[in-house]
Amino acid sequence: MDQQQQEKIIVHVDPDLEELIPGYLTNRKNDIAAIHDALGSNDLDKIRIIGHSMKGSGRGYGFEEITEIGMLIESAAKVQQTGEILPLVRRLEDYLNRIEIVYE
């Protein structure tokens, strides 16, 4: 694993959201599994909806990267570019594994 993959990503989050963040992040991990399942059955509409949801929610919780990845997943699903989806899911997975949340 290279240096960049091992580095933590510090995310500053409003302390008012502290109780919501663990559930939100668990739901994003569940989205990863759901996208894998949807890819297996070529359900691009489901993938589009998941991406759209991430796009709409990430920024509100302080996770700009989740918003960006969600937007890209939604776009790829809309134009049926399935080959672009898996690398984005890996990017999301890597992000979730590396984030360190600072409440302030």
pLDDT band of residue 78 (cuts 50, 70, 90) is: very high
Q: What is the pLDDT of residues 28-58, one digit of tens each?
A: 999 999 999 999 999 999 999 999 999 999 9
Query: What's the whole-number mean pLDDT along residues 2-30?
Result: 89
Scored b (16 or more CB within 10 A) or e, 61-98 reads bbbebbbbbbbbbbbbbeeeeeeebeebbeebeebbee
| pLDDT value, residue 1 | 46
Fold of 17-98: Four Helix Bundle (Hemerythrin (Met), subunit A) (1.20.120)
Is this structure's pTM higher than 0.85?
A: yes
pLDDT of 97 above 70 = yes
Question: In the chain, where are the structural domains located?
Answer: 17-98
pLDDT band of residue 76 (cuts 50, 70, 90) is: very high
pLDDT of 2 above 80 = no
pLDDT of 6 above 90 = no
Mean pLDDT value across the chain: 94
